[in-house]
Amino acid sequence: MVTPEEQRQIQERMAQVGILNMGAYMRKMALNGYVLQVDLSPVRELVSLQRRCANNLNQAALHVNTYGGLYPNELQALQKDYADLWGPLSELLEKLAQVVAL
Q: Which whole number is the average pLDDT over 47-69?
A: 84
Determine the Cα–Cα distance for residues 102 and 98; give it in Å rounded to an integer.
7
Task: Count the residues in the chain.
Answer: 102
Residue 91 identity (one-letter amino acid): E
Q: Indicate if the pLDDT at residue 31 is higher than 70.
A: yes
The mean of the pLDDT values for the chain is 83
Alpha-carbon span 30 to 78, nearest angstrom: 49
Amino acid identity for residue 94 in this structure? E
Higher pLDDT, residue 87 or 15: 15
